[in-house]
Amino acid sequence: MDMIKIGIRMRDTRKDKGLTLQDVADALGVAKSTIQRYEKGLFDNIKLPIVEAVAKCLDVNPSWLIYKSDIKDLRLIDVGLMQHETGLLQEEADLIARYKQLNDDGKNYLNEFIDMIITNEKYINM
| CATH number, position 12 | 1.10.260.40
Tens digit of each residue's pLDDT (9 = 90 or more) over 32-70: 999 999 999 998 888 888 889 999 999 998 888 998 877
| Full-model pTM | 0.60
CA distance 116 to 52: 43
How much is the pLDDT for 119? 84
Contact 60, 74 (CB under 8 A): yes
| SS3 label, residue 68 | coil
**Structural domain span for residue 91:** 74-123
Number of domains comprising the chain: 2
| Residues 79, 109 within the same domain | yes
